[in-house]
Amino acid sequence: MTEQLSTVAAAMGTPEELVERAARARATAQGNSYEEIIAAWAGETPAPTATIEAKPLASEVTLDEAVEPAPETPPASTGATAPVEATTVDAVADAVAAPPTPQTVSRREAAQYSEVTTVSTVGIKERTRSTTPGWLSGVFVILPIAAIIYFISFPSGPNCGVGGQLSVDRQTGSAVNCDGTEYQAGGPIGGVDAREIVASGSLIYSQSCASCHGVNGGGGTGPQLAGGAVTAVFAGCGTQLEWVGLGSTGFQNAGRTTYGDSDKPVNGGMPGFGTTLSPDDLLAVVYFERVNFGGQDATEALIDCGFLTEDEQDAPAEEEVEAMG
């Protein structure tokens, strides 16, 4: 009997004491002997048949039995042994009744289990059933709708129209309107051609600034410039030109803790281009950012950045002067 008990305990991975309690509880419940239960669990004999006599029907109960007072509830024990034993007995009995899990299965049989071990030596497990999370299914529905709304709302894209008034033809390098037509500004104002400045500033921006602020000025490791963000921080061309020339290190060395007209804190990360770009190149890239990303009027930006004065704004272009002569 001890060997049978040890065999059952080893198979179930349960201490012998708990197995014995479970077997005695099952024997009492079914009206069999403890030895019969252990022998059946060990696989030596068939499972015994319950021999408990059926209780009499309610009509067969005598009056004395019907009015018999309920037995007094025994005092509660100070320990939690009884509930634990009852739970353990049920768990052990269910474990014995359940069929053992096979060690190996075929590919078709593996589909019956939610998880299988494919590489037992290192314990690699794989799920046989994969379900798509509900939130991911929602993303697949929302993204196409958002894309359609975006293209309807911004047919020209963020590069032009929304962020500024001009774009640059990537093939010719010439300043063009948002619809791709040639930019007509009435000729060079006061001898200054804004189209050349935009084309030059665009090239400098793509080489020196786009890696941090994004090709379309949408931001990246550096802050966003498009959508009027650059002119919101720098109300005038002068403050922006100073920031681009000195950078965060130059401001910190000068003891300055904020930059721009909105007094943004100097946190570092902005390189100074005053030593790598010429003054004309600095003016060109700042002008390009303010017109293309900030939406500032092209003529107003020419005056703001010092390309011409207000008197020169009304002066006729050289071609017009020659024509009148």
Residue 43 has a pLDDT of: 77
Kindly indicate the confidence band of residue 242, based on its pLDDT and cuts at 50, 70 and 90.
very high
Question: Rounded to whole angstroms, how far apart are CA atoms 182 and 202?
Answer: 16
Q: Are 201 and 207 in contact (CB under 8 A)?
A: no
**Residue 189: DSSP 8-state:** B
Q: Which CATH number fits domain 167-324: 1.10.760.10, 3.40.50.720, 3.40.50.12780, 1.20.58.110?
A: 1.10.760.10
Residue 249 has a pLDDT of: 93
Q: Which of 122, 179, 190 is nearest to 156 (CA)?
A: 179
**Please, what is the Cα angle at 164 between 158 and 170, to 5 degrees?**
70
Does 44 or 191 have the greater pLDDT score?
44
Q: Please check the confidence at residue 175 and state whether its pLDDT lies above 50.
A: yes
Q: Please check the confidence at residue 247 and state whether its pLDDT lies above 90.
A: yes
- Integer angstrom CA distances of residue 124 from 116, 117, 313: 9, 6, 75
The per-residue pLDDT of the chain, averaged, comes to 74
Residue 148 has a pLDDT of: 86
Q: Please check the confidence at residue 224 and state whether its pLDDT lies above 80.
A: yes
Strands 115-119 and 258-259: unpaired
Q: Please check the confidence at residue 126 and state whether its pLDDT lies above 70.
A: no
Residue 272 has a pLDDT of: 93
Mean pLDDT of 50-64: 50
Does 229 or 3 have the greater pLDDT score?
229
Q: 284: phi > 0 → left, psi -120 to 50 → alpha, else beta; which?
A: alpha
Global pTM reads: 0.44
Kindly indicate the confidence band of residue 61, based on its pLDDT and cuts at 50, 70 and 90.
very low
Mean pLDDT of 73-83: 49
Residue 5 has a pLDDT of: 80
SS3 118: strand
Q: Please check the confidence at residue 208 and state whether its pLDDT lies above 60.
A: yes
Residue 123 has a pLDDT of: 61
Does 44 or 83 have the greater pLDDT score?
44
Q: Please check the confidence at residue 261 and state whether its pLDDT lies above 80.
A: yes
Q: What are 309's two structure tokens?
A: 């004065």
Whose tokens are 């049989």? That residue is 109
Q: Please check the confidence at residue 67 and state whether its pLDDT lies above 50.
A: no
Q: What are 229's two structure tokens?
A: 């963000």
Show Cβ contacts of residue 280 under 8 Å, excluding neighbours closer than 6 positions. none
Phi, psi of 45, rounded to the nearest 5 degrees: -135, 160
CATH 1.10.760.10 range(s) for the chain read 167-324
Question: Rounded to whole angstroms, how far apart are CA atoms 237 and 239?
Answer: 6
First-to-last alpha carbon distance for the chain, in angstroms, is 127
Show Cβ contacts of residue 321 under 8 Å, excluding neighbours closer than 6 positions. none
Does 1 or 233 have the greater pLDDT score?
233
pLDDT in tens, 5-39: 888 778 777 788 887 888 888 888 888 888 888 88
Q: What are 55's two structure tokens?
A: 């209780």
